[in-house]
């Protein structure tokens, strides 16, 4: 008698990871839609709007932290605009990541292969600076 059998642990883990990715993508899409409908954001000062956005994204993705970074004018660093920490409700607006400290990360980001770490910049080991992506 032949049969399909029970999926192996690797298959089950892959399916679980795929389901989690779909759920995260759906949650993010819902967050984008809700933000797009939040007209008051357009009338607030930029820093206030960004703070509200990081809080909203953190809640929507069940993430402890969410942040917004901008590449500076000469493309030598990412500058922190706002980092929200849901644990204590704080906002940090001071920080940067220099290209010189993380050249591999910058090359991957500029090539469209960059993805922000699941843990935030405040954990230095989360930024893939010296190893290929």
Q: How confident is the model at residue 44 (pLDDT cuts 50, 70, 90)?
A: confident
Span 12-29, pLDDT tens digits:
566 676 777 777 777 778
> Within a domain: residue 132?
no
- In order of 79, 94, 111, the CA distances from 74 in angstroms are 12, 19, 17
Please give the Cα distance from 126 to 99 (Å, whole number): 15
> Within a domain: residue 69?
yes
> Within a domain: residue 2?
no
Please give the Cα distance from 35 to 31 (Å, whole number): 6
Contact predicate 30/59, CB 8 Å: no
Q: Is pLDDT above 80 for 4?
A: no
pLDDT number for residue 65: 92
Taking the complete model, does pTM exceed 0.75, yes or no?
A: no
Q: How confident is the model at residue 125 (pLDDT cuts 50, 70, 90)?
A: very low
Please give the Cα distance from 38 to 5 (Å, whole number): 50
Q: Which DSSP symbol is given to 8?
A: P
Number of CB atoms found within 10 A of residue 9's CB: 8
> Within a domain: residue 89?
yes
Provide the domain limits for residue 80. Answer: 10-126
Span 64-121, pLDDT tens digits:
999 999 989 999 999 999 999 999 999 999 999 999 988 887 887 888 765 555 444 4
> What stretch of H or E contains 96?
strand 96-98
Contact predicate 66/118, CB 8 Å: no
- Structural domains counted in the chain: 1
Task: Look at the chain and count its residues.
Answer: 133
Select the more confidently predicted residue: 17 or 3: 17
Helical packing angle, 46-60 and 9-36, nearest 10°: 150
């Amino acid at each position: 008698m032949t049969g399909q059998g029970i999926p192996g642990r690797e298959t089950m883990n892959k399916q679980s990871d795929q389901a989690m990715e779909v759920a995260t993508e759906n949650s993010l899409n819902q967050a984008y839609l809700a933000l797009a409908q939040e007209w008051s954001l357009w009338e607030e000062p930029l820093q206030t709007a960004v703070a509200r956005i990081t809080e909203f994204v953190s809640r929507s993705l069940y993430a402890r932290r969410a942040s917004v970074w901008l590449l500076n004018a000469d493309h030598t660093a990412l500058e922190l605009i706002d980092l929200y920490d849901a644990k204590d409700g704080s906002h940090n607006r001071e920080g940067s990541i220099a290209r010189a400290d993380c050249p591999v990360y910058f090359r991957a980001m500029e090539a469209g292969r960059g993805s922000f770490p699941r843990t935030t910049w405040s954990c230095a080991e989360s930024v893939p600076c010296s190893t290929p992506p």
